Structure 1
Amino acid sequence: MIGELLRSQPEIALFASLALGYFIGSFKIGPIQLGGVCGTLIVALLLGQTGARLAPDLKNIAFALFIFALGFTGGPQFFANIGRGWRYGLLSIVEIVSVLLLVMTAVFALRLDAGTAAGLLAGAATESAVIGTASESIGRLGLAEAETARLQANIVTAYSVSYLFGLITIVLFTSQFAPLLLRVNLREEAERVWRKLGGDGALDEGQRMGALALVSRVFRVGPAAGLAIEALEQRYGCNLTVEQVDRDGARLALEPHLLLAAGDIALVAGRREAVVAAGPAIGTEVSDARFGALAAERVNVVLTRREAHGMTVAQLREQATPEQGRGVYIAAVTRLETTVPALPGTELNRGDVLTLVGAKADVERGARQLGYVLPATQKTDFVYLGLGVLLGMAIGHLGGRVGGVSIALGTGGGCLLSGLLFGWIRSRHPLIGSLPSAAAQILKDFGLATFIAAVGLSAGPDAIRLVREYGIALPVVGILMVLIPGLLSLWIGRMFLKLETPMLLGAIAGQQCSTPAISALVGVTGNSTPVIGYTITYALSNILLPLMGPVVVGLAGKFG
């Protein structure tokens, strides 16, 4: 009865897969969480036993939207990190080369077909997008319909088997095994790096997250009497600002050379640590009804200023004139939808979203100098989106033969490249091509989940056969495909690139495109320093790994 219903109305199977899959994927066992995509695949494989199928057109449209949005959101960071982030980017190259060699070794040793090889790559590297690019590439091989369906089903089954083992391995390797191999206390190392970057080492992560980035205090001037406002602000690295001064009940006009006098009442605002440190040197903190808390504005600004790329937060402030930088503070840095600690030593990239905090006039001035304000819009430019996907489909028809191996990008690879291009153009010309981050996230999440559900339903009947054929070989190879690149990157990053341990382990999690791994790392370290390395390799691997799908299919088809 249920099987007949699902076969006659496959949309029920789709949304059942999404609902149950994301419910299953939400459970955590320690630091391990399957996630909604893998949960959706498992449910779809089970429901696929009933014979429910989704139309191929729906699957193709969903994947095209997902992969374009992936490229669009990652484009600015991808191009920003190609040059200056080479030390971390090298680890992504280590990942790509080593997993490709390991997959081909498995192809020769186990006589894997193209579908199983590509699924092994997707699962072990925990990169679901490979399923789409590889599946489409198999569809272009010109094989019989039954053989094409079998190979595409093998991608999904091999992915589902190797994904779980790859996920567990990368989480445990980065958060537990690697620190033991390096003989370091990861929490102490992260605390040391945090202080090195200019952070306040006295607070734990929970306190940091709860503390306000910008505070204001009212002082009765004592020890600071005779000191000019400009000199006081520069003494604390321009990390605080005198916003108001009252003398004998009258408000004074503020100017840099105004000398403070004993008994003045001054409203001082700035970074919490700077205001706290400066308090005793200014005078006695008081409560005065004439001074309310500073009405701070928060504005998200996309960094486009060319000279700022590669600068640290501290260097950016040092380069600004007192008039330019006065009263504006960077409270947060967002990169690829991930928050990076906005410490003085944090390096900035073009395309970063900076959260500026300060008085309204100050943040507006800072926004004009650094880039453009990210508009709070919910409107998507469908002209731009449609043109981008069309261009991607056109690029996808490009292909050729390399060394006798036929390789074609397909719609997935083409839309990924066009998404990169259109996202980069959008970052340079912000008045065109609006695709709000929330809308882009919906396209990525729903597009990928729908695609995964579609391929899972079609692969259901073949799943058990493939597991029986290879037994534990696929899980073992999946574990090796995480450990070997991870160990290579650990050795290269430590011995030759001289990367700080928290950033290095974050970069290894990023080269594996593993969100659970970085979440576990942040929990172990107690702060977000690993995220600095993670965002760079994640941006690169998230683009390069899907492009390996057609390469693996071509190589395995020739030599498997």
Structure 2
Amino acid sequence: MIGELLRSQPEIALFASLAIGYFIGSFRVGPIQLGGVCGTLIVALLLGQTGARLAPDLKNIAFALFIFALGFTGGPQFFANIGRGWRYGLLSVVEIVSVLVLIMIAVLVMRLDAGTAAGLLAGAATESAVIGTASEAIAKLGFSDAETLRLQANIVTAYSVSYLFGLITIVLFTSQFAPLLLRVNLREEAERVWHKLGGDGAFGEGQRAAAPALVGRAFRVDAAAGGTIQAFEQKHGFNLTIEQVRRNGADVPVEPQLALAAGDLILVGGRREAMVAAAASLGEEVVDAGFGQIIAQKLDVVLTRGDAHGLTVAQLRERAKPEDGRGIYIAAVTRLETTVPALPGTELNRGDVLTLVGAKADVERGARNLGYVLTATQKTDFVYLGLGVLVGMAIGHLGGRIGGVSIALGTGGGCLLSGLLFGWIRSRHPLVGSLPSAAAQILKDFGLATFIAAVGLSAGPDAIKLVREYGLALPVAGILMVLVPGLLSLWIGRAFLKLEAPMLLGAIAGQQCSTPAISALVGVTGNSTPVIGYTITYALSNILLPLMGPVVVGLAGKFG
């Protein structure tokens, strides 16, 4: 009876897969969490035994929206890191090359078909988008409908088997085994790097400093009398700003050349460590001086200045004219929806979202000099979105033969490239193409989950056959496809690129597109230094791995 209901109303099977799948995926065992996408796939494979199917058009539309949004949100960071972030980007190249070599070895040794080979890539690399690009490539091979469905089902089954083992392996490798191989105490190393970058404490994910990084305090001038405001601020590296001066009960206009007089009440704002260092040279601290709040506004600004790309936060302040940088503080850096520690030694990339804090006039001036204000909006530019997907579909028709191997991008690969282009254009011309981050996240989450549910339902009947055929070979292959690239990157990153251990391990988690791995790393290190390496390789691998789906299908089809 249930089977008949699901066959007659497949939308029930879709939302049951989403609800139950995300519920299963929410459970955590230590640092391991399946996630909603894998949970949805498992439930869809089970419900697929009843014969419930979703329309192919729904599956194609869902994947096109997901892959376009993926490219759109990653476009600015992808282009920003493709050149200057070469040290970390090289690790993504190591990932791509090594998994392709390992896949071809598995194809020749295990006699894998194109679908199983692509599913192994998707699962071991924990990159679900490969399922879509590979499925489209298989549809263009010219096989019968039955054979095409069988190969596409093999993608999903191989993915579901190898994903779990790939996920466990990358989490344990980055957070437990790799530090042993490097012979480092990861927590101590992360704390050392945090201080090296200019941090004055080590705070983990979800934690906030009890003593805020930006503070305001009032003083009665004593020892600092006679010095100018500009000289005082310059002495402390412009990490402090005198916002208000009250002399003989009246406010005095704050000018750079204004000389402080004994008995002046001054309101000073800036970084806490600079405030502690300067307090003794100012005079007695005054309680309740009647001053207003100095931190008047917080503004999110997208960094678009080309000459700022690659500079650290400290270098950006040093190179700014005193009148341009005065009173502006970077309180947070957001990259690919991930918060990067805003330390003096943190490198900035074009496309980063900088949270500026300071007086209203100061942060507005800073926004004009650095990029554009990220306006809070809930509206999506559907003209831009629709045009982007159409361009992606047109690009998807491009293809050809390379060395006798037929390769076609398909709608998935085309929409991914189109999303990259349209996201980059949006970062350069912010007046067009609004796609709020929350809306983009919905497109990615719901689009991918719907696509995964659709392919899982259609693959259900063939799943058991593939598992019986290969047995333990697929899990073992999945583990090796994580360990080999991971070990290579560990050796290259440490011996040749001289990367710090926390950032290197974060980059290895990013090259595998593994969010659980970076979460486990942040928990082990006690601070967010691994995120600095993670965001760069994640941006590159998240784009390059899906494009490998058609390549693996073409190679496996020729040699498998």
- Give the TM-score taking structure 2 as reference length: 0.98
Residue 185 (structure 1) aligns with? 185
Residue 152 (structure 2) aligns with? 152
SS at match of 2:400: strand
Q: Which one-letter code corresponds to 2:268 in the other structure?
A: V
SS at match of 1:356: strand
Residue 456 (structure 1) aligns with? 456
Q: CA deviation at 1:59?
A: 0.2
**Between 97-106 and 216-225, the greater mean CA deviation after superposition:** 216-225
Q: CA deviation at 1:209?
A: 4.4
Q: For 1:142-175, what per-residue CA distance to the aligned partner results, in whole angstroms no more than 9, with x for missing partners? A: 1000100000000000000000000000001001
- The answer to whether residue 109 in structure 2 is matched with residue 109 in structure 1 is yes
**Between 242-251 and 501-510, the greater mean CA deviation after superposition:** 242-251
- The answer to whether residue 394 in structure 2 is matched with residue 390 in structure 1 is no
Alignment partners' CA distance in 1, 2:210 and 2:127: 34
Q: CA deviation at 1:293?
A: 3.0
Residue 99 (structure 1) aligns with? 99
Q: CA deviation at 1:12?
A: 0.6
Q: CA deviation at 1:212?
A: 2.9
Alignment partners' CA distance in 1, 2:392 and 2:274: 50
Residue 247 (structure 1) aligns with? 247
SS at match of 2:330: strand
Residue 41 (structure 2) aligns with? 41
Q: Which one-letter code corresponds to 1:14 in the other structure?
A: L
Alignment partners' CA distance in 2, 1:62 and 1:508: 30
Residue 508 (structure 2) aligns with? 508
SS at match of 2:347: coil
Q: Which one-letter code corresponds to 1:384 in the other structure?
A: Y
Alignment partners' CA distance in 2, 1:549 and 1:158: 14
**Between 462-471 and 200-209, the greater mean CA deviation after superposition:** 200-209
SS at match of 2:342: coil
Q: For 1:444-490, what per-residue CA distance to the aligned partner results, in whole angstroms no more than 9, with x for missing partners? A: 00000000000001111111111111111000000000000000000
Q: Which one-letter code corresponds to 1:547 in the other structure?
A: L
Task: Return closer, same or farther for 1:423/1:206 CA change in 2, 3 Å cut-off.
Answer: closer
Alignment partners' CA distance in 1, 2:201 and 2:73: 33
Percent identity, aligned pairs only?
A: 86
Q: For 1:36-83, what per-residue CA distance to the aligned partner results, in whole angstroms no more than 9, with x for missing partners? A: 100110111111111110000000000000000000010111011111
Q: Which one-letter code corresponds to 1:558 in the other structure?
A: K
Q: CA deviation at 1:208?
A: 4.7
Residue 425 (structure 1) aligns with? 425
Q: What is the RMSD of the two structures over their aligned residues, measured on CA atoms?
A: 1.2
Residue 294 (structure 1) aligns with? 294
Q: CA deviation at 1:205?
A: 6.8
Q: Is the 8 A contact 2:42 2:160 kept in 1?
A: yes
Task: Return closer, same or farther for 1:203/1:278 CA change in 2, 3 Å cut-off.
Answer: farther
Q: Which one-letter code corresponds to 2:242 in the other structure?
A: V
Matches for 1:113-124 after TM superposition, within 5 Å: 113-124=113-124
- The answer to whether residue 272 in structure 2 is matched with residue 272 in structure 1 is yes
**Between 518-527 and 270-279, the greater mean CA deviation after superposition:** 270-279
SS at match of 1:94: helix
Q: CA deviation at 1:384?
A: 0.7
Matches for 1:376-387 after TM superposition, within 5 Å: 376-387=376-387
Alignment partners' CA distance in 1, 2:432 and 2:525: 40
Q: CA deviation at 1:296?
A: 2.5
Alignment partners' CA distance in 2, 1:443 and 1:208: 31
Alignment partners' CA distance in 1, 2:253 and 2:80: 43
Q: CA deviation at 1:227?
A: 2.0
Residue 525 (structure 2) aligns with? 525
Task: Return closer, same or farther for 1:203/1:50 CA change in 2, 3 Å cut-off.
Answer: closer
Residue 228 (structure 2) aligns with? 228
| Unaligned residue ranges in structure 1 (runs of 5+) | none
Residue 263 (structure 1) aligns with? 263
Q: Is the 8 A contact 2:204 2:523 kept in 1?
A: no
Alignment partners' CA distance in 1, 2:444 and 2:418: 15
Task: Return closer, same or farther for 1:211/1:65 CA change in 2, 3 Å cut-off.
Answer: farther
Alignment partners' CA distance in 2, 1:93 and 1:78: 14
Residue 308 (structure 1) aligns with? 308
**Between 288-297 and 154-163, the greater mean CA deviation after superposition:** 288-297
**Between 398-407 and 261-270, the greater mean CA deviation after superposition:** 261-270
SS at match of 1:310: coil
SS at match of 1:333: strand
- The answer to whether residue 10 in structure 2 is matched with residue 3 in structure 1 is no
Residue 558 (structure 1) aligns with? 558
Task: Return closer, same or farther for 1:205/1:515 CA change in 2, 3 Å cut-off.
Answer: closer
- The answer to whether residue 214 in structure 2 is matched with residue 214 in structure 1 is yes
Alignment partners' CA distance in 1, 2:96 and 2:483: 14
Q: CA deviation at 1:318?
A: 0.6
Residue 195 (structure 1) aligns with? 195
Alignment partners' CA distance in 1, 2:169 and 2:204: 28
Task: Return closer, same or farther for 1:326/1:80 CA change in 2, 3 Å cut-off.
Answer: same
| Unaligned residue ranges in structure 2 (runs of 5+) | none
SS at match of 1:224: coil
Residue 399 (structure 1) aligns with? 399
**Between 523-532 and 124-133, the greater mean CA deviation after superposition:** 523-532
Count how many residue pairs are aligned between Structure 1 and Structure 2.
Answer: 560
Alignment partners' CA distance in 2, 1:357 and 1:450: 40
**Between 94-103 and 189-198, the greater mean CA deviation after superposition:** 189-198
Residue 74 (structure 1) aligns with? 74
SS at match of 2:256: coil
Task: Return closer, same or farther for 1:143/1:439 CA change in 2, 3 Å cut-off.
Answer: same
Residue 412 (structure 2) aligns with? 412
SS at match of 2:266: strand
Task: Return closer, same or farther for 1:11/1:206 CA change in 2, 3 Å cut-off.
Answer: closer
Alignment partners' CA distance in 2, 1:205 and 1:400: 46
Q: CA deviation at 1:262?
A: 2.2
Q: Is the 8 A contact 2:202 2:527 kept in 1?
A: no
Residue 469 (structure 1) aligns with? 469
Matches for 1:348-367 after TM superposition, within 5 Å: 348-367=348-367
**Between 253-262 and 118-127, the greater mean CA deviation after superposition:** 253-262
Q: CA deviation at 1:291?
A: 1.3
SS at match of 2:344: coil
Residue 50 (structure 1) aligns with? 50
SS at match of 1:301: strand
Alignment partners' CA distance in 2, 1:256 and 1:524: 46
Q: Which one-letter code corresponds to 1:548 in the other structure?
A: M
Q: CA deviation at 1:290?
A: 1.5
- The answer to whether residue 467 in structure 2 is matched with residue 482 in structure 1 is no
Residue 135 (structure 2) aligns with? 135
Alignment partners' CA distance in 2, 1:305 and 1:454: 43
Q: For 1:177-227, what per-residue CA distance to the aligned partner results, in whole angstroms no more than 9, with x for missing partners? A: 000000001111111111111111477777654543422111122222222
**Between 253-262 and 288-297, the greater mean CA deviation after superposition:** 288-297
Q: Is the 8 A contact 2:300 2:356 kept in 1?
A: yes
Q: Is the 8 A contact 2:241 2:269 kept in 1?
A: yes
Alignment partners' CA distance in 2, 1:207 and 1:240: 25
Task: Return closer, same or farther for 1:209/1:32 CA change in 2, 3 Å cut-off.
Answer: farther
Q: CA deviation at 1:294?
A: 2.2
Q: CA deviation at 1:231?
A: 1.4
Q: Which one-letter code corresponds to 2:214 in the other structure?
A: L
Q: For 1:467-523, what per-residue CA distance to the aligned partner results, in whole angstroms no more than 9, with x for missing partners? A: 111111000000000000000000000001111111100000000000010111111
SS at match of 2:298: strand
SS at match of 1:255: coil
Q: Which one-letter code corresponds to 1:392 in the other structure?
A: G
Alignment partners' CA distance in 1, 2:241 and 2:412: 51
Q: Which one-letter code corresponds to 2:302 in the other structure?
A: V
Q: CA deviation at 1:394?
A: 0.6
Alignment partners' CA distance in 1, 2:199 and 2:504: 19
Task: Return closer, same or farther for 1:210/1:510 CA change in 2, 3 Å cut-off.
Answer: farther
Q: Is the 8 A contact 2:205 2:523 kept in 1?
A: no
